[in-house]
Amino acid sequence: MFPYVVADIGGTNARFALVTGKDAGLYALEHIHILKGKDYASFQDALSAYLDKLDGIKPTAMCAAVAGPVVGDQVQMTNLSWGFSCAAVAEQFGFKAFVAMNDFAAVAAGIPLMGGDHLITFKDGTPQDNTNKAVFGPGTGLGVAGVIRHNGLWLPNPCEGGHINIAPTSAFEADIIKAAIGHHGHASAETFISGPGLVNLYNAICEVEGSSAAKYEPSDITTKALDGSDATCVTTLNTFCSFLGSFAGNLALTYGATGGIYLAGGILPRFSDFVIKSDFSAKFAHKGPMSSYVENIPAYLVTHNELAFNGAAAWLEQQLTQ
């Protein structure tokens, strides 16, 4: 079966890797290259450029995780003009199999591979074996997916959960959401639980408190919150963690994720200690009549750098063995 290619393709970068085997349940990745999507007219052109870097190695199959919908055989990127047929790509490059999947579905598919060495505990609990899990990732946006256990297989289940209406757990949070609705029209979870969401949240808090908002970037807010130099930034990051925990608990209820909630994405590692000390766990577990259901569900931050690559590799292997 090996070697084969996996790719993680977003609106800006197209990342490729060669899978050469497995080690301790994870996939061995070599020849990792990052290409700029705008430099190539098509996915096929980018893939051809990557294969040229392999010095004659002939991959047997490929899985591409793409930021966009995958409908049957057809793929159309959301933030790139690339569109292609999976069958046509397989034929052009001589792959015995070519599989495409949503990029956050690949993240979800990688979750069952993650062991304790790649996890930071945000909320204590005991995951039930071989039961549903869910993952979400605050970054440029808010990706959400589940991974469902069915007939001995792990099935990723992507969704658009980042765009659900965000819910308050206090009068203060209700006032913040009201302020955000005035500016954004629709206050989704992504409105606050994302990198840009930190700025939206900061601006809404300033409006509620009647203070002037500085022109901060997300990194400014986290830096000033962590060093305590700006009280409003501290409030912003605390409120962010509150929304984060509440959303995580909601996801546990929605997916029946007794196997655990997993957080990924680029912004959380910067302030993981802050999250642990915040009311994340309390908000996660505060679910009224269903509090007892979620109280023992754990939540983890995934620290593995190549989660999506591993998920794409696992999904391809599963397809090849069926």
Contact 122, 299 (CB under 8 A): yes
- Is 266 marked within a binding site? no
- Is 25 marked within a binding site? no
Neighbour count for residue 39 (Cβ, 10 Å): 10
What Å distances lie between residue 251 and 68, 181, 322, CA to CA? Answer: 22, 23, 30
- Is 7 marked within a binding site? yes
- Give the CA-trace dihedral at 162, 166, 172, 178, to 10 degrees: 110
* Cis previous bond, 289, omega within 30: no
Instruction: Count Cβ atoms within 10 A of the Cβ of residue 131 and give its class: 0-12 exposed, 13-18 middle, 19 or more buried.
Output: middle
Report the alpha-carbon distance of residue 31 to residue 37 in Å, rounded. 18
- Is 32 marked within a binding site? no
Cα–Cα nearest to 293, from 262, 251, 231, 238: 251
- Is 11 marked within a binding site? yes
Q: Name the phi and psi angles at 188, rounded to 5.
A: -90, 175
Write b or e for each residue in 155-194: b if 16 or more Cβ atoms lie within 10 A of its Cβ, otherwise e.
Answer: bbbbbebbebebebbeeebebbbebbeeeeeebbbbbbbb
Which two tokens mark 206?
């300033």
Contact 5, 62 (CB under 8 A): yes
- Is 12 marked within a binding site? yes
Query: Which residue ranges make up the annotated binding site for ATP?
Result: 7-12
Query: Which residue ranges make up the annotated binding site?
Result: 7-12
